[in-house]
Amino acid sequence: MTEGKWDEKFVVFLKKYYWDDILQLANSYPDQRSLEVDFYDLDVFDREIANELLFNPDEVLPSANNALQQIDLPVEKKLIDAKVRFVKIPNKIPNRDLRSKHLLQFVAIEGMIRKATEVRPKVLNAAFQCMRCEHVTMVPQNEIKFVEPVECENETCGRKGPFKILVNQSVFVDAQKLQIQESPENLKGGTQPQSLDVDIEDDLAGLVKPGDRVIINGVLRSHQRTTREGKSPFYDLVLHANSIEYTDLEFDELEITPEEEEEILALSRDPEIYQKVIGSIAPSIYGYEDVKEALSLQLFSGVAKHLPDGSRVRGDIHMLFMGDPGVAKSQLLRYMVKLSPRGVFASGKSASSSGLTAAAVRDDLGDGRWTLEAGALVMADMGIAAVDEMDKMSTEDKSALHEAMEQQTISVAKAGILATLKSRCALLGAANPKYGRFDRYEGIAQQINMPPALISRFDMIFVLLDTPNEDMDSKIAKHILKSHYAGELSEQRKNLPSSTITQEQVDGHMEVIKPVINPDFLRKYVAYSRRNIFPVMEDEARDHLVKFYMDLRRMGDGKDAPVPVTARQLEALVRLAEASARLRLSNVATMDDAKRTTRIVYSCLRQVGVDPDTGAFDVDVIASGTSKSQRDRIKTIKEIIKSVGEKHPGGKAPLEEVYAEAQNQQIDRQHAEDLIARMRRSGDLIKPDKEHVKVV
């Protein structure tokens, strides 16, 4: 077909299918310069053109644009620079499967934006002025070679330079370079994500930022590599974008068939649904029923709310595991990343703050300019970010988490780039105590190398202790050995041709560690719930949460009583109740959900929010690292040292006298020594010699 025939066909097609959209475009032109066309409409209209678009886009795209620009409009306007943007392209190819056969085809690439340069003007037609005779030469883009001089068209001059470009007479278009990489959830374990450079122009430039999940449709081209020795035989793939589709809707990449939807709904009606989900979380790890129940709620998450004043209340549930080595913390984290429809795993020791949040990097993508690169928390947007060894992170890296956890955004101010990225993910952290094992008689903040302000942002903190218990140890040992035995049978049958082990034997022993719900199906169940279920809490359930909160607060009514809980814990209760309703696909959070929530939170608070000296709930044990009773004792010791010091020259108080006076005020010697050591570390006391102390 000749070019004219393509143009005419497109005029007929656009008028038939998109007349109203064209009129709307004309009203908004030139602010809006794109007409979005669904590929399937073109396929229904003329299969031949649709096929040509996929395999010969360089012939078809100009015709589509010409047709749009030629259409007679009922208004006094010409769509001179308007473009047709094709969406829903069936030729979707994963990054790692792109080959030379796909060159010059119209393809759809799905993934996450990893880097984005600034939007800058790009010359389409350059006007060069000869510096000698001032003659102006117009050069189209495909002939512009900035490195080589352009020959002057003036016959009497004939010079080869120098020239200057006339900006006011040249034609420019906005341009930007992106890098799109495979989404983390589509990667098989241990594989490096593949990325692809993308060139975007005109009104598409500046639409996306790092961390956005998109499908970019465009023509795949190749650019020859250049090395120091000259041009290389290798080519880099570059996608010249025609359109961008957002897939930022929750877990759009997980396709659920109608049959699977029926299965999901049937499973949600199962009265044992909670036990089944709990039994599907890390079945190879024995016990931890309460921890697994909390993890199941974290998977489903509460509902994020957007308030009329523009603020956003997070729905994601943050959890922290803290405890002895060898209690399977890391295994639980890795399993949760596998179950979450979007999950990213990072280790605190090997992750820097920019690796977790976002980095400003300088590379060849933007001709040596600074670009933004998304980190783990941005990539886990709408999923779970599991960070192991949180206590090993540097102070700067921990401070980067504050905003990511509460506001769920990441503000970047680096190398002149000011940007805010989304990190709407639940954080699942694990940390080890400073001195190897957890000491139940010391506050959590003293034992974990993390700022109390960061610890207080977690909705739930679980302390996993490794305490010898004959009955429990026996069950764990048997479970571990059964798991290993099942693995041994499976490996021998797979790798030893002479093996007499049958598949039935393997399956029988695998039952011990087989999840009740298949992990792939559970991911879809979670995605379906988070996409479609938005529970509202019943009055009765709300009253129960308020009563629970008020009962705890009432413990702090007395003048000298500690503050048991803060409003942060109440928000955590709401999120957990919503997650509990979502787990069984209910749009109503009932009294049962509220009771389940208060039971989990109460067991959590009993582990970490209790003053070891008095046994009372005290939120300061978590929030500031010092309980109310400890603060009172520090004050008493300080006054004792002051009064004893006044009786001695230079205000130096003998330690033995201080201990004796402390004993009179019901503070035993052990506690007094600990408190004096703490005050010395904080700079409130000095020790002039071994026998004396003095208040600063």
| pLDDT above 80: residue 568 | no
Looking at the DSSP bridge assignments, the partners of residue 86 are 37
Would 12 be classed as within a structural domain? yes
Distance CA 54, CA 319 (A): 47
- State the pLDDT at residue 623: 47
- State the pLDDT at residue 441: 54
In this structure, the answer to whether residues 112 and 194 fall within a common structural domain is: yes
Distance CA 27, CA 690 (A): 86
Name the most confidently modeled range: 214-218, 251-255, 656-660: 214-218
b (16+ CB within 10 A) / e for 304-324: eeeeeeeeeebbbbbbbbbbb
CB 116 within 8 A of CB 185: no
Would 609 be classed as within a structural domain? no
Residue 162: count of CB within 10 angstroms of its CB: 11
Q: Residue 72's domain is classified under what CATH number?
A: 3.30.1640.10
Residue in the block written with tokens 């010391």: 442
Residue 148: count of CB within 10 angstroms of its CB: 9
In this structure, the answer to whether residues 227 and 333 fall within a common structural domain is: no
Domain that holds residue 688: 628-695
Three-state DSSP state, 693 = strand
* Strand pairing category for 230-246 and 195-201: parallel
**Would you place residue 540 in the very low, low, confident or very high pLDDT band (cuts 50, 70, 90)?**
very high
For residues 402-409, give the mean pLDDT: 81
- State the pLDDT at residue 612: 45
From 26, 58, 87, give the residue that closes a domain.
87
Span 21-34, pLDDT tens digits: 888 888 888 788 88
CA angle 337, 343, 348 (to 5 degrees): 80
For residues 521-546, give the mean pLDDT: 89
Would 103 be classed as within a structural domain? yes
Would 54 be classed as within a structural domain? yes
From 197, 226, 246, give the residue that closes a domain.
246
Distance CA 45, CA 9 (A): 10
Q: Tell me how long the chain is.
A: 696
- State the pLDDT at residue 124: 79
In this structure, the answer to whether residues 344 and 419 fall within a common structural domain is: yes
Span 130-172, pLDDT tens digits: 887 888 877 776 655 555 556 777 777 766 667 788 888 878 8
Q: Is the pTM of this model over 0.85?
A: no
- State the pLDDT at residue 561: 42
C-alpha distances out from residue 523 to 29, 247, 339, 680, Å:
44, 18, 6, 52
- State the pLDDT at residue 185: 63
Q: Residue 684's domain is classified under what CATH number?
A: 1.10.10.10
Both tokens of 628, joined, read: 């109310």
Residue 610 is given by DSSP the state: B
For residues 495-519, give the mean pLDDT: 75
| pLDDT above 60: residue 122 | yes
Distance CA 536, CA 518 (A): 29
Distance CA 475, CA 478 (A): 5
CB 11 within 8 A of CB 67: yes
Helices 3-28 and 47-55: crossing angle in degrees, nearest 10, is 90
Least confident of 141-150, 304-313, 367-376, 436-445: 141-150
- State the pLDDT at residue 614: 47
User: In terms of Cα–Cα distance, which of 75, 89, 115 is closest to 210?
Assistant: 115
Q: Residue 285's domain is classified under what CATH number?
A: 3.40.50.300
Residue 492 is given by DSSP the state: H
Name the most confidently modeled range: 21-30, 335-344, 370-379, 650-659: 21-30
The beta strand positions in 251-349, using DSSP E, are 305-306, 312-313, 319-323, 343-347
pLDDT above 90 as % of the chain: 4
- State the pLDDT at residue 563: 42
The beta strand positions in 560-644, using DSSP E, are 588-589
Q: What is the CA radius of gyration of the chain?
A: 33
Would 118 be classed as within a structural domain? yes
In this structure, the answer to whether residues 80 and 102 fall within a common structural domain is: no
Would 528 be classed as within a structural domain? no
Would 475 be classed as within a structural domain? no
**Interacting residues of 575 by C-beta distance below 8 A, sequence separation 6+:** 301, 302, 314, 315, 316, 317, 459
| pLDDT above 60: residue 285 | yes
Distance CA 174, CA 160 (A): 29
CB 108 within 8 A of CB 126: no
For residues 276-284, give the mean pLDDT: 84
| pLDDT above 80: residue 560 | no
- Cis amide linkage into residue 452, ω under 30° from 0: no
Q: Rounded to the nearest 5°, which phi and psi values hold at 76?
A: -75, 75
| pLDDT above 50: residue 559 | no
- State the pLDDT at residue 578: 92
In this structure, the answer to whether residues 399 and 335 fall within a common structural domain is: yes
Name the most confidently modeled range: 158-172, 291-305, 645-659: 291-305
Average pLDDT, the chain: 78
In this structure, the answer to whether residues 343 and 315 fall within a common structural domain is: yes
Three-state DSSP state, 360 = strand
| pLDDT above 70: residue 251 | no
| pLDDT above 70: residue 368 | no
- State the pLDDT at residue 692: 78
In this structure, the answer to whether residues 199 and 148 fall within a common structural domain is: yes
Distance CA 66, CA 62 (A): 6
Least confident of 188-197, 348-357, 488-497: 348-357
Q: Rounded to the nearest 5°, which phi and psi values hold at 561?
A: -80, 150
In this structure, the answer to whether residues 634 and 681 fall within a common structural domain is: yes
Distance of CA 498 to the CA centre of its chain: 48
Q: Rounded to the nearest 5°, which phi and psi values hold at 321?
A: -100, 130
Question: For the chain, give me the number of helices (H) and strands (E)?
Answer: 24, 26
Half-sphere exposure of 81 (CA within 13 A, CB side): 14
- State the pLDDT at residue 68: 87
| pLDDT above 70: residue 191 | no
From 58, 87, 116, give the residue that closes a domain.
87
- State the pLDDT at residue 467: 67
Q: Rounded to the nearest 5°, which phi and psi values hold at 688?
A: -60, -35
In this structure, the answer to whether residues 307 and 406 fall within a common structural domain is: yes
CA angle 592, 595, 597 (to 5 degrees): 110
Residue in the block written with tokens 């890098």: 179
CB 273 within 8 A of CB 584: yes
Both tokens of 354, joined, read: 């920019």
- State the pLDDT at residue 148: 56
In this structure, the answer to whether residues 226 and 146 fall within a common structural domain is: yes
| pLDDT above 50: residue 622 | no
Half-sphere exposure of 18 (CA within 13 A, CB side): 26
Q: Structurally, how many domains does the chain consist of?
A: 4
Give percent helix, percent strand, percent coil of the chain, each to the nearest 5: 45, 25, 35
Least confident of 62-71, 111-120, 202-211, 557-566: 557-566
Would 564 be classed as within a structural domain? no
For residues 318-347, give the mean pLDDT: 81
Residue in the block written with tokens 């890391």: 330
For residues 471-496, give the mean pLDDT: 77
CB 94 within 8 A of CB 342: no
Residue 240: count of CB within 10 angstroms of its CB: 16
In this structure, the answer to whether residues 295 and 357 fall within a common structural domain is: yes
Least confident of 97-111, 189-203, 580-594: 189-203
- State the pLDDT at residue 581: 92
| pLDDT above 60: residue 11 | yes
| pLDDT above 70: residue 36 | yes
In this structure, the answer to whether residues 358 and 458 fall within a common structural domain is: yes
